[in-house]
Structure 1
């Protein structure tokens, strides 16, 4: 089978809706109207017609032989501005000591924060359930390929990149953290509040407590999930850690899910990405594996076998055909495997 990663097109609408319905992520719900609007915004973003605060890039993974969309990933160019700030809880430690008792405690506290000059955010990572656990590591391909686009067009993104990971939820899809904290200050059920926050942020700033919240006062179930990653999200966590992301001691104000982040200068697919000229070698040995992306207006990427010598690269003929790359053209290549982290 052959797979390419490319920007979403309007022709993908029905297939992408079907894919999203398998998971129903908040930032990519299985709703035809919402996804149609996201496709509109993505096409305008790739065309450079929107400001950074409005831009949202939606990538899809296509099974070329079946002509079927089997995965997606998303980049919000800027998450947090003067009109719609990025909100989160920062976790701090506070020391308390009693001279009389000779006893001290180190307490963890949550402090509500707003960021009016927010980072780039990545999300929307989906892979069709029937395509998982394939040897091509399709989830890794669709996740990493967006960094190649960021490496090609750094001016379109912020210097900081954020990823909000999903924490453990109950079997009914509720958040123990929200039940213990957010619901008491807003009166809203978790799903309703999280959905509302996608378009309206005012209620968060107005109703959430501005003072430090001591974690020891929260329900034990809520403390247990704070900053934890749900089982289904652990592969994404490990992948992020392997390319330079780390836990920021920040959590989502709704579900307590951990925020991971990195500066662009730390993200390995970007820092190790290289522009190379496509050539042919008579004795080519395609022993190196990497993600290869086109550098023209029509962005496409694929996992490729290559022979790199200096600034020249020979690509396996199948990959050149798949990405429609000619000898003499420039491509952008980044490693597929990294030894850093877990």
Structure 2
């Protein structure tokens, strides 16, 4: 069984290895920055962070049998405010017409833009390569458990939430869009600029040209990257779209990947999340059908969650004994509960001998 729990400092070596596989601002491949994020997360889970700008929740995916950490993801309470804007490229269209030629062109444009409205953000998701394509769908567990958590604690987050999707990268983990566009104005490699932006983004606003840039000036292979995601990111994008996230023409300045967003209150999994009371331990002959749910418990060991089969007995939630043990839950405990739509609950009541 696999369990989601808060990241801890003991996870730092593993998380650093995972971070070095990607180029996420929300998962910096820097030991000190990563340790600081874990520290903020621990305080946030403990309820010690009152400033939403400092609120950050970093989850670890753990193999319950081996205690091996195999993935991580995050939710940030607020990613922009006055003096600390969210920076993106806004795509648009410009029509040009010649009366003499009786014709013209429609151009796609990009322009640097900022947002200080303070949305929350999901990000920093990575699953160890050896566990991708796992029959227990660990990628979706990592991605979607965040909405279960938000559904339990909506007061900790903003009303709108962003998701940054990584654009396609070259085999050496670079991007043609940065080489043909960003590097013309900022003399840093993609990796250097991406890492530096985790500390400060001032250089983007200071060095990037103001006003619209015609995308047609870029080579076709660079133009094609704007608003696209890499093949390995497509499943995550589809999962978010299924939760109501939409693309509004905003892209990352570094790799051109799309920003998706939605209102938290409109996310199906957030709306479906509630609390239930755990019933008696299941007998061996309980039929859990095919229904699955996200179930979580906050006990002495902190937040623990998993995806599990379940049954309903009156107003009580019946869980497999392996689940009860994995998330440290006992009879009469209150747990977070999000039924998942992809399977149906065939047996509405637990069968007991």
TM-score (norm. length: structure 1): 0.91
1:16–1:202 Cα change, 3 Å: closer
Count of equivalent residues: 338
Q: Which residue of 2 aligns with 1:324?
A: 328
What is the alpha-carbon distance in structure 2 between the residues aligned to residue 37 and residue 206 of structure 1? 27
What is the alpha-carbon distance in structure 1 between the residues aligned to residue 185 and residue 86 of structure 2? 19
Q: Which residue of 2 aligns with 1:103?
A: 103
1:81–1:28 Cα change, 3 Å: same
Is 2:20 the partner of 1:17? no
Residues 152, 295 of structure 1: 8 Å contact kept = no
Q: CA deviation at 1:274?
A: 2.2
Q: Which residue of 2 aligns with 1:315?
A: 319
What is the alpha-carbon distance in structure 1 between the residues aligned to residue 112 and residue 62 of structure 2? 40
Is 2:261 the partner of 1:257? no
What is the alpha-carbon distance in structure 2 between the residues aligned to residue 103 and residue 118 of structure 1? 43
Residues 151, 274 of structure 2: 8 Å contact kept = no
What is the alpha-carbon distance in structure 2 between the residues aligned to residue 99 and residue 119 of structure 1? 45
- Superposition RMSD on alpha carbons, in Å? 2.1
1:173–1:15 Cα change, 3 Å: closer
What is the alpha-carbon distance in structure 2 between the residues aligned to residue 118 and residue 219 of structure 1? 35
Q: Which residue of 2 aligns with 1:278?
A: 278
Q: Which residue of 2 aligns with 1:117?
A: 117
Residues 90, 113 of structure 1: 8 Å contact kept = yes
TM-score (norm. length: structure 2): 0.89
What are the Cα deviations for residues 205-241 of structure 1, in whole angstroms up to 9, with x where unaligned? Answer: 1111221112112222210111111112112112212
Q: Which residue of 2 aligns with 1:290?
A: 293
Q: Is 11-20 or 153-162 further displaced after alignment?
A: 11-20
What are the Cα deviations for residues 231-281 of structure 1, in whole angstroms up to 9, with x where unaligned? Answer: 121121122122221222110112211111111122221112122222248
What are the Cα deviations for residues 9-58 of structure 1, in whole angstroms up to 9, with x where unaligned? Answer: 22222333333344464432443323222211111121222311112211
Structure 1 residue runs without a partner (length 5+): none
What is the alpha-carbon distance in structure 2 between the residues aligned to residue 60 and residue 146 of structure 1? 11
- 2:40 alignment partner, SS class: helix
Residues 299, 328 of structure 2: 8 Å contact kept = no
Alignment of 1:73-152 (within 5 A): 73-152=73-152
Structure 2 residue runs without a partner (length 5+): 344-353
- 1:145 alignment partner, SS class: helix
